[in-house]
Amino acid sequence: MSKTVLVLGDESDWDSYTKFFRELHRHGSKKIDWITASYDDFEKNRMPVIDSDTIIIYLFFPFKYWDKNIEPRKYKGVYGNRGFYHKFRGFWSDINRKLNNLYPNKNLYFINHPLRIAVDRDKELTKTMLSEAGIEVPKGFHTRDYKDILKIVNEENKKLFLKVRYGSMGKGITYMEKGRWITNFRFKNNRIVSRHADHGWSFTDITNNIDFLKRLLTKDIIIEEAIDTYIIKEMIFDLRIYVCFNEVLYIYPRTNKKEAVSTNISQGGIGETQAFLKKIPENILKKSCRNALKAAKTVGVNTAGVDVIISKDLKHAYVVELNAFPGFPSTKRFNLSRRIIKKIEERKWE
């Protein structure tokens, strides 16, 4: 049975699609035909004619659509609201319908199905799914009363994250502990302000700013307890675990200063080498990988970057994020594109 892989992406996606595109065109494949196309081609009905009986579709993030329709520069609202999710999910529903109409009577397979690909953008839904599957996730709180939050932080001495429900990349995070509140939002004229960029979301002190807290609690957010994490050489860290068809391809440790609240590279985190993994006990590292694989399977995606935090007592490996569109590590660090291509070539698409 003849097979072709159709890769859809945007050239502006320099962190994943561009790396994959370059690898594909640099080395190609002797086992399967590969075709690349952009979402512009898709929108303008310039998609390639494919004669193969089986078409395997690899979808990358639609940056141009997102920047034009979901988070345009003229957008004045708060980042990560419900509207983001509904538009994004609608986009993928349209993609699914159009692809099936475009290639009728073909056997269509998806690396990540368009009807599952947006699930991770809803952090509350994702956490619920993972928890019900027995995967460790941070404890959540569902109150919207600022007095409850103050009690949790000041009287119960708990540390909290208040995150936008429908966001990513560490954007729209507020951290609270007794005597220290910081956020990477801005607060002006009693209004929460978002940046119009993926980077530069620096944290600022808002300790005891009750007006900010009250306003934030009216937004689409999730509230969860901050994990007391395992520390290595005075650094906090998490593990970005890249999974593909039930296999861990690469573990990317990311560190930051002990007083930081995020290990996101966009938030000042540093990518570590594989030597860093030797500092982590093997049993908890294996547990982290098992939880990452189970998380992807639970959400219903085949490829993902799963972020795991290890508890201070080395007993728990919490899944704190799942990304169906993870940024790829640098090729010099690890050629993730090559490994994914190999996995696709090896599968039986029947």
For the segment 55-77, the average pLDDT, to the nearest whole number, is 93
Give residue 283's pLDDT.
97
Q: Is the dihedral of CA 155, 205, 264, 193 positive or negative?
A: positive
Give residue 26's pLDDT.
86
Residue at 64 is within a domain = yes
User: Looking at the structure, do residues 18 and 69 belong to the same domain, yes or no?
Assistant: yes
Domain range for residue 144? Answer: 140-225
Which two three-digit tokens encode residue 122?
């809803």
Residue at 69 is within a domain = yes
pLDDT at 1 over 90: no
Residue at 282 is within a domain = yes
User: Looking at the structure, do residues 59 and 174 belong to the same domain, yes or no?
Assistant: no
User: Looking at the structure, do residues 175 and 249 belong to the same domain, yes or no?
Assistant: no
For the segment 156-178, the average pLDDT, to the nearest whole number, is 95
Closest CA to 234 of 288, 184, 171, 279: 279
pLDDT at 200 over 90: no
User: Looking at the structure, do residues 234 and 218 belong to the same domain, yes or no?
Assistant: no
Reported confidence tier of residue 107, pLDDT bands at 50, 70, 90 = very high
C-alpha–C-alpha distance, residues 101 and 42, integer Å: 12
User: Looking at the structure, do residues 213 and 233 belong to the same domain, yes or no?
Assistant: no
For the segment 38-62, the average pLDDT, to the nearest whole number, is 95
Boundary of a domain, candidates 225, 253, 277? 225
pLDDT at 29 over 90: no
User: Looking at the structure, do residues 104 and 22 belong to the same domain, yes or no?
Assistant: yes
pLDDT at 137 over 70: yes
Residue at 185 is within a domain = yes
Boundary of a domain, candidates 191, 225, 259? 225
Residue at 330 is within a domain = no
Beta bridge partners of 175: 161, 182
Residue at 97 is within a domain = yes
**216 by DSSP, 3-state: which?**
helix
C-alpha–C-alpha distance, residues 303 and 122, integer Å: 17
Reported confidence tier of residue 198, pLDDT bands at 50, 70, 90 = confident
For the segment 83-94, the average pLDDT, to the nearest whole number, is 96
Give residue 92's pLDDT.
97
User: Looking at the structure, do residues 58 and 170 belong to the same domain, yes or no?
Assistant: no
Give residue 30's pLDDT.
72
Q: How many CB atoms lie within 10 A of CB 109?
A: 18
User: Looking at the structure, do residues 161 and 232 belong to the same domain, yes or no?
Assistant: no
For the segment 20-44, the average pLDDT, to the nearest whole number, is 89
For the segment 50-65, the average pLDDT, to the nearest whole number, is 96
| Average per-residue pLDDT for the chain | 94
For the segment 291-310, the average pLDDT, to the nearest whole number, is 98
Instruction: State which H helix or E strand residue 198 sits in.
Output: none
Task: Kindly report the CATH number assigned to the domain that includes residue 310.
Answer: 3.30.470.20
When divided into structural domains, the chain yields a total of 3
**160 by DSSP, 3-state: which?**
strand
pLDDT at 130 over 90: yes
C-alpha–C-alpha distance, residues 313 and 294, integer Å: 22
Give residue 287's pLDDT.
98
Condensed to tens digits (0 to 9), the pLDDT of residues 243-279 reads 999 999 999 999 999 888 888 877 778 999 999 999 9
User: Looking at the structure, do residues 213 and 240 belong to the same domain, yes or no?
Assistant: no
For the segment 10-27, the average pLDDT, to the nearest whole number, is 91
Which two three-digit tokens encode residue 283?
């049993």
Residue at 107 is within a domain = yes
Give residue 76's pLDDT.
86
Q: Name the pairing type of β-strands 173-177 and 160-164.
A: antiparallel
Give residue 197's pLDDT.
83
**DSSP classification of residue 311:** B
Residue at 209 is within a domain = yes
User: Looking at the structure, do residues 108 and 10 belong to the same domain, yes or no?
Assistant: yes
Condensed to tens digits (0 to 9), the pLDDT of residues 211-228 reads 999 999 999 999 999 999
C-alpha–C-alpha distance, residues 20 and 61, integer Å: 12
Boundary of a domain, candidates 193, 225, 257? 225
Reported confidence tier of residue 164, pLDDT bands at 50, 70, 90 = very high
- Please measure the distance between the N-terminal and C-terminal CA atoms of the chain and give it in whole angstroms: 9
C-alpha–C-alpha distance, residues 174 and 161, integer Å: 6
User: Looking at the structure, do residues 128 and 232 belong to the same domain, yes or no?
Assistant: yes
User: Looking at the structure, do residues 76 and 211 belong to the same domain, yes or no?
Assistant: no
